[in-house]
Structure 1
Amino acid sequence: MHSISDLTTFCRKTTGDVPPKLVGASTTVVGSKMYLFGGRLVTERRMVSDLYAFDLESFVWERILPFPDDEMPPARYFHSADAWNNILIIFGGMGISPDSDNPEDLCVLNDVRFFDLSSRRWMSWSSSAASENLIPKARYAHLSSITSDRLFVIGGQDLANVWLDDVHIYDLKTRAWIQRRDYPRHCGTYRSVAVSSNYRVRFPQEELRGKSSSAAPGSRFQYEKMPPTPDKFTPSESLHHLPYSAVPTEEYPSDVYLYSNYNFTDVKRELEVFSPQSGQDFNITDRSNAMQGSSFPPGLRFPTGAILGTHLIIAGTYLAHTYQSFSVWALDLQTMVWSRIDPGSALATGSWFRGCLWPEASKFLIFGNRYGNLVEDYNRRLLSWDHVACIDLEAFGIYQPPRLIIDVQQQELGLAALEEGVLADFEIICDDGRRIECSRKLLEERWPWLKDQRRKFVAGAQRALDTLPQNSQHVALPDISGSSDAEGSKSDPRLTPRTFNLSEPYPIALAFVQYFYALALITPLQHAPAVLSQLLVLASTYKLYHLEDLVKHAMHGALSNSTSVGVYEVATLCSCRSLQIR
């Protein structure tokens, strides 16, 4: 009997310029690439400043060679690496003393280095500060995260392994240290992780609560004569706006989540949220006591983490006397409930240590060696890159909600335009003969398939005009099958100049047209389970990827025992594997 978790995780051997075994290297995901920098070679006990790129789609490693005139950063390990505006930001770490040839003569660093991922060149660097106090002490094994164009450097240790209990903020636009604050907690990579996201999930239902449209349904466009059927208008209070992803703003910033666990025999867990404020300030909120659930993460050593949608992902090495594993957990930031991500048998054996998130694909990747020994490699702090395990987080309901194409007010205005028949010059004919009046121009702009069919229809009509006889005695030759007029150039026979026969029931067709006007799923009709299922089929048929994402998003939110069978069937039909597994 196989666990369903075996369907969510697979393991692959990596190829290309596979990095050697390292200690203290950094990994940073940008787009569909993961960048590995620095570390200490296990075999030679020598630090390096090598940079590698790993293709998350093909599982191929590539070593990025520096340009001869680049100002290379010193070799280091247990540094931090973050991404900002397609630039890799390296800070601190432990290196070799520049005045010594002895590889055991160590020093700690506090420099900020920049690698341009577009040009693949190390940029010239310089940093400033209004006062010396703002410049962080040299450190290693610290935490870092970027939000609101600011690099947060938290904790770490100095050369004497003394904890540095402070937070420093670096302005990435001005390249200056702008703030320092005491932070009386011991934070380091052995026990803690700090993460943020490039997107913030917004909840329009909460943001719009208490706000209502001033215009009555059916009167948004101020017709002199009210349409005769006011019952076809959707009241604003019944509209349902799904959560969506948005670029952080000053009003809705992306918070930094700092998770710590320590005292591994009797695990203590802490969660604090750093919220950027206007100017240079930030607030810290302790959410430790809010965490709940039927089970909690065990003590995880050298944890890694990420934010995906409304979940905080935490992963790390779990070592007990009789059991060892690489463990992955998720905290729902809305309910504050912990749940375990079961990777199945893929991680049951081998040595796995470094996890990273690929947010665009909703996948969590874990690097290691499937034939290694976890305990022996942990004792040497050894990181292997020979194999990668990929966990499909969407199968657990963890994913980034779709972004908006138009804002919420425009969505409602678009729906009103449909219901009030604004610029209606085209009709969708349903399979029961009922008709939906709409704008042909709007449908063409937002439905690429229909635009292409209209182009073929017009071209066919023009060809027909061109073949009309010049006089009554001229008879055109009939078309012969296989002639130059290929089948692909003919328009769909359901299309006429003023109508399109969709061959769907009226509720399905109406919900479909409502999507094109609102570019969202906001009406109660669109959220009916049977309608959602058919909208997913239409999205798959006509390659409407934004609609497909919206429908899957709505289905994840509405998934229950009563709807699971229908969701499974349509997800199978439309090859939506993650939704099918869930």
Structure 2
Amino acid sequence: MQSSISDLTTETRSTRGSVPPPLVGASMTIVGDAMYVFGGRLVASRQMTNHLYILNLTTLVWERHIGPPGSAPPPPSRYFHSTNVYRDSFLVVFGGMGPAFSSSATQEQGDLCALDDICLFDLSSLSWHYPHISPSLYTPQARYAHLAECFDDKFLVIGGQDMANQYINEINVYDLKVGAWVQGESVDQHYGAYRAVAFCPRRPLGNNHDDDTGTLCIYSNYNFTNVTRSLLSCRPLHDRPVTFKDHSNAMSGTVLPPGLRFPSSHILGHHLILTGTFLTPTHCAFHIWAMNLSTLAWMRIDTGSSSSGSWNRSVLDSRQQKLYVVGNQARNILEDYNLRQINFDHVAIVDLEAFGIYTPPHYAPNAQELGLSMLNEPSLADMHIMSTDRHSIPVNSAILAQRWSYFAKRIMPDLQQQQQARRILQFTEPYTVTLAFLQYLYTDGLFTAQQHQPGVLARLLILAHMFDMPRLVQLTTHALHQLLTVTTASLVYETAALTCRTALQIRALRVMINARKMIQQVASKHAASPLPLDLMAQQQSPMALRF
């Protein structure tokens, strides 16, 4: 049963169109509703390429990009480069390994060299740009298989290797606004794409309450037979010399990630998503793990039977909160890993919200006090809301119309024809739910204890679905995720089913199934070694379980 639940979280689909050929060392990024695959080495001919392929995530149709007439040509062919997204407007391509003779006419016989150039792909005009880079003492050494991150207007390059396969122990910072390398610092660790990932969280790691603005984090795993995991953070934009803080011993979890080769990382909400190939002498599989950035606790993302086949690389669609994994269902993952081959014939789409991983809603900091004070001021009201249990609440119709489009379009015109003293709207909910709904309309948030009662939240989600209120749907769904336990799972499941919140429904179902399994385990243990029922309940109570 558990595997069938996992199957509900992942959809596997074929891609069509100009599907990229199998590639080695290509880069993958998602911006908006498109996936971009650039560069790589062709597996069949071992020839380097500088082709750019674009996958429409709605239709899953590939097309090979051809630049507009008169636009700049694509960058030289390369692989094991980096491509990062800059403010959802540009792709930033740096480094990699390519032919020493960059001309496509002579690259077949050319020797390889490491690259140190920066190329920008404009996502609005779909054209390449080559910024003029001012000379600098901080210009990085040419490299490939490095780590790279964009943070605000800064582009950070970490580690990598030169053509002698020696690690480059430095961090370099490029200012994307100024167009110059502005910083370079040495580090005493080896970092590369084979065993490490870099990420820039928007909130402090663990229980650290220091100012973590501009924090760069590096997760590494090495010594794969007896894996060692390392989690370090630094602030290269602030601290000189760069100093690292070690969080390795703070990581926890029922099970920790195994050693993953060529890992990829993504940030979604309060979680780090880590993916990569897990390889042992007897087993090879593509793994997905998540770490809560607040608690540093790991959990495995089980995708069920869809994990069969050859799955090679992941990329995150943060808007839809889904992870796309490219591969080929019919191929063997071990054979493809030995070739470092990435396939693009199929995509497995993992709904991360079903695992409680999503971007939480944003709250306006000053909305609560002002909104609630206005709701509690009868002199501002020009009508009344009547609940089903006959409680009358004075409200301002203009505020309701601002945040409740159904009221503005369907109810407001009729009310304006009535005298103010007779403006009464009969609402279909009891007082507790009606008041919670009005509190949302006045504050644009769920701030009160009244609003966070499970039964009230369930009714608010149904109202949000019925009146097509996306903001309230987001807020109530998040709140129901937060209070999901064994005691609330059935209510959450039924409400999610009624409102088409599939991810929340699946997560609630998983809680109920896991709770039932635990109760069965407790019962079998009790049958084998009887204990007083009250003592057994104290030792194995499932009431506080959360998944």
Pairwise TM-score range, normalised by the shorter structure: 0.7 to 0.9
Larger radius of gyration: 1
Task: Give the whole-Å Cα distance in 1 for the aligned partners of 2:257 and 2:399.
Answer: 51
For the aligned residues, what is the CA RMSD? 2.3
Higher RCO (C-alpha 8 Å, min separation 6): 1
Task: Check the 8 A contact 2:214/2:237 in 1, yes or no.
Answer: no
User: What secondary structure, in the 3-state scheme, does the structure 2 residue paired with 1:533 have?
Assistant: helix
3-state secondary structure, aligned to 2:428 = coil
Task: State the alpha-carbon separation in 1 of the partners of residues 504 and 50 from structure 2.
Answer: 42
Distance in 1 separating the partners of 2:94 and 2:453: 51
Find the aligned partners of 2:23 and 2:379 in 1 and give their Cα distance: 64
Task: Specify the alignment match of 1:75 in structure 2.
Answer: 77
Letter in 2 for 1:366: V
Cross-structure match for 1:117: 123
The AA in structure 1 aligned to 2:28 is T
Residue 314 in 1 paired to residue 274 in 2? yes
TM-score (norm 2): 0.87
Report percent identity of matched pairs: 45
5 Å matches for 1:250-269? 253=213, 255-269=215-229
Q: Deviations over 1:492-549 (max 9, x none)?
A: xxx9972211121001000000001110000000000000000000000001111110
Deviations 1:137-177 (A, max 9, x none): 00000000111211110000011111001100011111110
Contact 1:178 1:280 in 2 (8 A): no
Choose from 95, 98, 123 the match for 2:101: 98
Give the structure 1 partner of residue 497 of structure 2.
572
In structure 2, do the counterparts of structure 1 residues 39 and 121 end up closer, same or farther at CA, with 3 Å as the change threshold? Answer: same
| Distance in 1 (alpha carbons) for counterparts of 2:115 and 2:233 | 27
Residue 438 in 1 paired to residue 363 in 2? no
2:306 paired with 1:346:
yes
Residue from 141, 159, 163 that aligns with 1:159: 163
Instruction: Flag the 1:185–1:283 CA change in 2: closer, same or farther, 3 A.
Output: closer
Name the aligned partner's letter for residue 423 of structure 2.
Answer: R
Give CA deviations for 1:409-433 in whole Å, capped at 9, x if unaligned: 2322111111233511121111122
Question: Judging changes above 3 Å, is the alpha-carbon distance between structure 1 residues 201 and 551 closer, same or farther for their aligned structure 2 residues?
Answer: farther
Contact 2:55–2:63 (CA<8 Å) still a contact in 1? yes
Structure 1 residue 127: Cα displacement: 1.1
Q: Is the 8 A contact 2:401 2:412 kept in 1?
A: no
> Any residues of structure 2 matched to 1:168-207 within 5 Å, and which?
168-196=172-200, 200=202
Give the number of aligned pairs.
498
Q: Quick check: 1:89 aligned with 2:92?
A: yes
How far 1:55 moved relative to its partner? 2.0
Deviations 1:434-493 (A, max 9, x none): 11111111110111110001465379x69xxxxxxxxxxxxxxxxxxxxxxxxxxxxxxx
Segments of structure 1 that go 5 or more residues without pairing to the other structure are 208-249, 463-494
SS at match of 2:437: helix
Contact 2:185 2:241 in 1 (8 A): no
CA contact (8 A) 1:23 1:39 kept: yes
Could you report, residue by residue, the CA deviation over 1:250-298 in whole angstroms, capped at 9, with x for unpaired residues? 9663643321111111111111224465699976432111111121111
Tell me the amino acid that sits aligned with residue 68 of structure 2.
F
Letter in 2 for 1:73: P
Report SS of the residue matched to 1:408. coil
1:332 paired with 2:292, answer yes
Going from structure 1 to structure 2, the CA distance change for 1:101 and 1:28 (only over 3 Å counts) comes to: closer
Please tell me whether residue 365 in structure 1 is matched to residue 324 in structure 2.
yes
Q: Is the 8 A contact 2:367 2:444 kept in 1?
A: no
Question: Scaled by the length of structure 1, what TM-score is found?
Answer: 0.82
Does the CA-based 8 Å contact 2:23-2:342 persist in structure 1?
A: yes
Structure 2, unpaired ranges of 5+: 508-547
1:503-582 matches, within 5 Å, as 503-582=428-507
TM-fit CA distance, 1:101: 4.4
Matches of 1:30 and 1:501, distance apart in 2: 45
Counterpart of 2:152 in structure 1 is 148
Deviations 1:73-98 (A, max 9, x none): 11111000001121010000001012
**Contact kept in structure 2, 1:415 and 1:518, CA below 8 Å:** yes
> Distance between the aligned counterparts of 1:279 and 1:25, measured in 2?
33
The separation in 1 between residues aligned to 2:291 and 2:240, in whole angstroms, is 29
